[in-house]
């Protein structure tokens, strides 16, 4: 199986500074981590700067406690002329406990030029399945 276009993986440790008053990952920090993974995935595929145009949806599926590792996986699921859809999933785990999906989101990203205007994505090297 081929790795999806623009695929990235990030690992984060949930430290107390990222937690809310319940001792779990604060949703705002979770959203920031999802957005970071989406940005890196889109920029890697586009091979140019990108901006976020929208968030289609974000789900917080389970609490992520302090001390848990968060594995974020992002991949580009759709490529348009200058836009991309990036899917991100987050798995939380502790040593000896199976990882479970705790976060997920779908982001719309746009490749931009130096003036911040939408710019075409070079599609010549992409998987034919991801092109629309």
Per-domain boundaries in the chain: 8-130
Which H or E run contains 17? none
Run of H or E residues at 27: helix 27-46
Neighbours of 29 (CB within 10 A): 18
Q: Which of 62-76, 96-110, 118-132 has the lowest mean pLDDT?
A: 118-132
Residue 71 — very low, low, confident or very high, per pLDDT cuts 50/70/90? very high
CATH annotation of 8-130? 3.10.129.10
pLDDT reported for residue 128: 58
């Amino acid at each position: 199986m081929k790795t999806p276009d623009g695929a990235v993986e990030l690992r984060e440790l949930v430290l107390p500074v990222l937690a809310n008053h319940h001792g779990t990952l604060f949703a705002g920090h979770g959203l920031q981590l999802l957005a970071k993974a989406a940005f890196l995935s889109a920029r890697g595929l586009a091979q140019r700067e990108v901006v976020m145009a929208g968030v289609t949806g974000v789900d917080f599926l389970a609490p992520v406690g302090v001390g848990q590792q968060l594995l974020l996986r992002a991949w580009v699921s759709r490529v348009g002329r200058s836009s991309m859809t990036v899917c991100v999933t987050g798995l939380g785990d502790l040593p000896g406990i199976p990882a479970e999906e705790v976060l997920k989101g779908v982001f719309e990203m746009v490749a931009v030029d130096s003036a911040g205007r939408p710019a075409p994505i070079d599609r010549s090297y992409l998987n034919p399945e991801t092109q629309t």
